[in-house]
Chains A and B, each alone.
Chain A
Amino acid sequence: TQLLEQSPQFLSIQEGENLTVYCNSSSVFSSLQWYRQEPGEGPVLLVTVVTGGEVKKLKRLTFQFGDARKDSSLHITAAQPGDTGLYLCAGKMRDSNYQLIWGAGTKLIIKP
């Protein structure tokens, strides 16, 4: 059973378009992280959100944590080919200091 569902699983769009990917769960997390993974590499942390309703911006990327801390979204404005990669969300359960529950990822391709 996948505790964290990411959607869509795959997204291919043209350079310059906007997009939103989602990370949903029925569980409450104490925090949630977004990672980007390129082929043949390990995941690289983009952001950690902690407070329900929190919004964080990283250049053209906007991350939001749901009010109930069960879901999150990542919005990319004016996508560029360099944004191509696998975007993973990972949530930390409240009863653990180190266990992360991972989504299966959204594979994003930005075509020039």
Chain B
Amino acid sequence: NAGVMQNPRHLVRRRGQEARLRCSPMKGHSHVYWYRQLPEEGLKFMVYLQKENIIDESGMPKERFSAEFPKEGPSILRIQQVVRGDSAAYFCASSPQELSTEAFFGQGTRLTVV
């Protein structure tokens, strides 16, 4: 039973390029959460999605960032025109229902903008 799969594990982008981060939730999980973690800091909520629906994107910057969770395929976090400040670890978590039970985290994507 595979866990939450994120890819790529490491991503290097030049300023101005686009970054696409993928998250495949655990089998049977229809709720996906994206978090961002800076060094020496906790996780910051970005967005909560269910299949084909964005439930809460209050933690996501309104410009350059977008997320989707299509009916088929992984959830995608997209960052357009990346800047150095976007460098961080991005984690995805999934759960079978709203976060009243355990959410399982992926290993994260470490984005470095050069």
The chain A residues found within 8 Å of chain B, CB to CB, are 2, 4, 9, 40-45, 48, 88, 90, 92, 97-100, 102-105
Contacts and interface: CB of A to CB of B under 8 A. Distances in A.
Contacts of B48: 98
B33 interface: yes
Contacts of A40: 107-108
A43 B107 contact: no
B43 A41 contact: no
A69 B41 CA distance: 23
B40 A98 contact: no
Q: How large is the interface on B (under 10, 10 to 19, 20 to 34, 35 or more residues)?
A: 20 to 34
Interface of B: 4, 31, 33, 40-45, 48, 55-56, 91, 93, 98-100, 102-103, 105-108
Contacts of B105: 42-44
A41 B42 contact: no
B55 to A, nearest CB: 8
B102 A42 contact: no
Given A48-B102, A97-B99, A100-B99, A41 B107 contact: yes
A98 B103 CA distance: 10
Contacts of A45: 102-103
A97 B42 contact: no
Given A42-B108, A103-B42, A98 B102 contact: no
A45 B56 CA distance: 23
A104 B56 contact: no
Contacts of A99: 45, 56, 99
